[in-house]
Amino acid sequence: MAFEFAPAIAALPFVSFLVALAFGDRMPKGGALAGILATAGSLLLSLWVFLTVSGGSAYVHDIHTWTVLDGGSVLNEITLHFGLLLDPLAAMMLLIVSLIALLVHVFSLGYMNDEGETGLPRYYAGLGLFTFSMLSFVMADNLLMAFMFFELVGLCSFLLIGFWFREDGPPSAAKKAFLVTRFGDYFFLVGVVGIVATFGTSRFAVGQGAADAAQAFPVMAAKALGVTEGTVSLAIPGGMDPQLWFTILGLLVLGGVIGKSAQFPLHTWLPDAMEGPTPVSALIHAATMVAAGVYLVARMYGFYLLSPTTLGIIALVGGFTALFAATMAVVKREIKQVLAYSTISQYGYMMLALGAGGYVAATFHLMTHAFFKALLFLGAGSVIIAMHHNEDMWDMGGLKEKMPVTYWTFLAGSLALAGIFPFSGFWSKDEVLYEALVHGLGTVGTQGTLLLVAYAFGLLAVVFTGFYTFRMVFLTFHGEPRTDTAKDPHGVRWNVKGPLVVLGVLAAGIGLVNMVPVKKLLGGAEIDFLHKWLGGPTALEAQTSVHHYADVLLHDAAGYSAGTLAGGEVGTVLISAGVSLGLAVLGALLAYRLYAVPEPVEHTEKLGSVKDLLYNNYYQDEFQVFLAERVTMPLAKAADTFDQGVIDGVVNGTSSVSLFSGRRIKRVQTGVVTNYALLLTLGFLVLVVAMAVTGGWF
Amino acid sequence: MAVDVTYYLVLSAGLFCIGLAGILTRKNALMFLMSVELMLNAANINFVAFSLQWGNLTGQTFALFTMALAAAEVAIGIGIILVLYRNFDDVDVTDATSMRW
């Protein structure tokens, strides 16, 4: 029953988009109310779907088939369609996205309406379309549909980041976000085409009672490799080894993921995206755009598990990005910049978990991160309102007494981000690192070493995370006010505090849904609810359930096995949790020593040239500009020369010849009608003579 | 007493050549029109002669149509000649040479 209403989850924000666009300027609050109602409706429906999925059912349903292609003898028919896939993963993500979209809409009342911004209908229309795209992306049952909404999400981020298009920064940041993610999406598109051409389908899963021919592509791939029983006919180009070909396809799709989830080396757009309104940053970083990449890998995880090489790359990129971004966050002056780099870093952790075979860990971190990062962004938004849109942390200080609600909720989010027990981030980050550690220890060969290297990156990033998080907290809220604005901040209203409190409670407590370490320690207490829940309905048991991933594919296809340190499993859990918590506390204490004083000074100055390097983001932007100017530009110039010289030369030459000959031949046309008559007569005579000769009259 | 068809054809060919010569040598547009009439009538003679030869009325019917057509053609031709005169103050076809590249 709930499933029949599922399309409305996405349709409601779309309606609010249309309403805000058409009537927003005549409505009170510039269309915000429509958006709030629509996202609240989506939230209720998502909750209903969530409860129905918890009851053990799942839903795979084709909504609209737009074309059926002839796939030849090997693939038969290829259908391209819109469809819904509602399994535990999708249901969880729907809930997160609609909740955060609702809170962001409410918060926008305080951040945009109360601050007297103009162009609000455009803003709320953008938010509605953004929510619609992400919800549709989450529900997609095939890769092609996912790609279409993935692109739409990118478009919406472009529109919203560039919301203040009259200033200099935002339009350029919007363009950068659009182009950099588009660069990744180009590979994704090629991957989608490759997958459809190989398998004849791009479905993630098929429902019960579907035709025999209809299969999910990860399942077909597993059969083709002999991991699971069954025979399939695939069109692999050039008789290539299936394993190699699946790795190539996986890496192509991963291109889109790296762009959207801002992983190294395509992360540069994300810090610039801070030019957009703060509620938009919260939506982009917590629930939509950036989450889409990681969600996509989780969605087709059955396919990635078949390729150990791809998994290794995912783990390494993720671990490296986690550390790389965390180091840059240490020296930033602006509160939103710190949060931007922490987002990159946290998505790195999710990628690390996925690469290390920790499907539940990644999903778990995706969820907790969505809550605490939305909280931190909205908290930062609250601070920015209070500071009259000054984002520099060195101009703040002492806001703790002035805005207690913001302070305490922000603190909860920071503790979660730093991974301090028992806040949500601790549980999920610990599980990510634990998965990387045990699979690194247990897997033999390069793969295991790779995972351990990625684990080391991740572990090191924990210290930096603890440090930059609390540097941000202490600089913003503690000490003495450093400017007049900070002495007398602008107040915030219920529409700012409300979302903060809701998210604060979630950020503090949501980790309790998957207390794996506690379960392992107590032995037998069944408190890893998320893990059980992702096991999901029996209908999709052999397709997208965590049992299929963890018990079958992880060992048989990816070749991962779990190892332990001293003290067996319990010992390993304790060591892993202890080390990550210890390092987080170490980072936090360092920040406390340096910055929790009445008059903090810029200690990072002591780093000297290292600080410059970090402050300038390892000169990544400059490197990319260098690539564009010194590599791409000469290539483009050479191509231009070839185009202008050779291609156009041939075309122009042809036209010159015709022009020249035309200029000569046109002299035949004298304009004297008698001449024309003569030519006609002569021509006729020539014809007659020719016919006479060939016809044999003479 | 039937006249041999060859004479008709020779008459027709002669008439046609006179018309053609008129078009190729004359400059006066009115002469053009008359020459065209001669050529059309040469064709008509052929129609009628062959019609007589084969005992088939179709050719004679065609000749009637051609006459109607010729009348229409003259109407248009005179219209053109009037315009020619208005624009060039003459009916000399070699003057009107502006309709070219």
- Summarised one tens digit per residue, pLDDT across range A440-464 is 888 888 888 888 899 999 988 998 8
- Distance from the Cα of B21 to chain A's closest Cα (Å) equals 10
pLDDT at A210: 61
Pair of tokens at residue A58: 């799942």
Subunit contact B97:A678, Cβ cutoff 8 A: no
- Of B24, B96, B97, which is closest to A677 when you measure between CB atoms? B24
Does the distance separating the beta carbons of B93 and A674 come in below 8 Å? yes
Q: Assign A209 a pLDDT band (cuts: 50, 70, 90).
A: low
Per-residue model confidence as pLDDT tens digits over A113-163 = 777 778 888 888 889 999 999 999 999 988 999 999 999 998 988 998 888
CB-nearest to B101 from A666, A672, A681 is A666
**Is cis: bond before A28, omega within 30 of 0?**
no
- The token duo for B37 is 């009439």
CB A478 within 8 A of CB A397: yes
pLDDT averages per 10-residue partition of chain B, 101 residues: 85 94 91 92 93 91 94 94 91 82 69
Q: What is the mean pLDDT of chain A?
A: 85
Q: Do B101 and A669 touch (CB under 8 A)?
A: yes
Counting Cα atoms < 13 Å in the Cβ hemisphere of A427 gives 29
DSSP state of A65: E
% chain A with pLDDT above 90: 18
Are the beta carbons of B99 and A671 separated by less than 8 Å?
yes
- Alpha-carbon gap: B25 to the closest alpha carbon of chain A (Å): 8
Q: CB distance A674–B99 less than 8 Å?
A: no
* Chain A residue at shortest CA distance from B95: A672
Q: Taking CA atoms, what residue in B is nearest to A665?
A: B101
pLDDT in tens, A471-493: 888 888 888 888 877 777 777 77
Instruction: Please tell me which residue, A52 or A398, carries the higher pLDDT value.
Output: A52
The minimal CB distance from A670 to the residues B20, B32, B97 is found for B97
Using an 8 Å CB-CB cutoff, list chain B residues near A677: 23-24
| Residue A148 confidence (pLDDT) | 92
Instruction: Look at residues B49, B47, B22, B44 and name the one whose alpha carbon lies nearest to residue B33.
Output: B22
- CA gap A292, A148 in Å, rounded: 12
Q: State phi, psi for A514 to the nearest 5 degrees.
A: -145, 70
Query: From CA A640, how far away is CA A659, in angstroms rounded?
Result: 26
The answer to whether A674 contacts B23, with C-beta atoms less than 8 Å apart, is yes
Is A611 a residue whose pLDDT tops 90? no
Mutate to test the interface with B, among A663, A673, A678, A684 (most CBs of B within 10 A): A673
Write out the DSSP string of B4-46: PHHHHHHHHHHHHHHHHHHHHH--BHHHHHHHHHHHHHHHHHH
Q: What's the mean pLDDT in A543-550?
A: 79
Q: What is the pLDDT of residue A43?
A: 92
Inter-chain residue contact B100 with A677, CB threshold 8 Å: no
CA-CA distances (angstroms) from residue A661 to A651, A655, A669? 16, 10, 14
Which of A669, A674, A681 lies closest to B94 in CB terms?
A: A674
Looking at residue B35, what is its pLDDT? Answer: 93
Q: What is the structure's pLDDT at A289?
A: 85
| Contacts (Cβ under 8 Å, ≥6 apart) of A579 | A459
**Which residues of A fall within a CB distance of 8 Å from B23?**
674, 677
> pLDDT value at position A211?
59
Residue A306 DSSP label = T
User: Looking at beta carbons, which residues of chain B come within 8 Å of A673?
Assistant: 32, 93-94, 96
**Residue A290 half-sphere exposure, CB side, CA atoms within 13 Å?**
35
Which chain A residues are Cβ-neighbours of B99 within 8 angstroms?
671
Which residue stretches of A494-567 are H helix? 494-509, 516-522, 529-535, 546-547, 554-556
- Cα–Cα dist A156/A171, whole Å: 13
Contact criterion met (CB < 8 Å) for B96 and A681? no
**Under a CB-based contact definition with an 8 Å cutoff, are residues A104 and A123 in contact?**
no
pLDDT at site A201: 83
Q: Is the pLDDT of residue A595 over 90?
A: no
**C-alpha–C-alpha distance, residues A491 and A238, integer Å:** 67
Tell if the CB–CB gap between A673 and B100 is shorter than 8 Å. Answer: no
**CA distances for A64 relative to A83, A151, A569, angstroms:** 7, 19, 49
A669, B100: Cβ pair inside 8 Å? yes
Nearest CA in chain B to A679: B24
Q: Provide, as residue numbers in chain B, all residues whose Cβ is less than 8 Å from the Cβ of A671.
A: 96-100
The complex's ipTM works out to: 0.87
Query: 3-state class of A600 per DSSP?
Result: coil
* Residue carrying structure tokens 């379309």: A129
pLDDT of residue A633: 92
Binary contact (B93, A669; C-beta < 8 A): no
Quick check: A330 and A467 in contact, CB under 8 A? yes
Closest chain A C-alpha to B1 CA, distance in angstroms: 32
- Determine contact: A670 vs chain B, CB below 8 A: yes
Shortest Cα–Cα distance, B95 to chain A (Å): 8
Using alpha carbons, select from A497, A533, A303 the residue that is nearest to residue A407.
A497
Name the token pair of A237. 């180009």
Tell the burial category of A505 from Cβ atoms under 10 Å away from its Cβ (0-12, 13-18, 19+): middle
CA distance A81 to chain B (A): 58
Phi-psi region of B55 (alpha: psi -120 to 50; beta: other; left: phi over 0): left
Q: The tokens of A75 are what?
A: 């693939």
Q: Which residue has the tokens 């150990």?
A: A308
Contact: B101, A674; criterion CB under 8 Å: no
d(CA A314, CA A320): 10
Minimum-distance CB partner of A673 among B20, B93, B101: B93
pLDDT tier at A296 (50, 70, 90 boundaries)? very high
Q: Which residue does chain B place closest to A675, by CA atoms?
A: B24
Whether omega for the bond prior to residue A422 falls within 30 degrees of 0, making it cis, is yes
CA-to-CA dists, residue A695 to A155, A191, A690, A692, B13, angstroms: 73, 66, 8, 5, 22
Statement: residue A213 has pLDDT above 70: no
Pairs across A and B, CB distance < 8 A = 28
Nearest CA in chain A to B22: A674
The answer to whether A671 contacts chain B (CB < 8 Å) is yes
* pLDDT exceeds cutoff 90 at A239: no
State pLDDT tens for residues A244-289.
Answer: 899 999 999 999 999 888 888 888 888 888 888 888 888 888 878 8
Q: A287 φ, ψ to 5°?
A: -125, -25
pLDDT range class, residue A503, cuts 50, 70, 90? confident
Answer whether A575's CB lies under 8 Å from A424's CB: no
Most A CBs within 10 Å, among B94, B95, B98, B99, to test the A interface: B94
Contact at CB, A672 and B97, closer than 8 angstroms: yes
Confidence at residue B39, expressed as pLDDT on a 0 to 100 scale: 93
Q: Is A681 on the interface with B (CB under 8 A)?
A: yes
Amino acid A697: pLDDT: 79
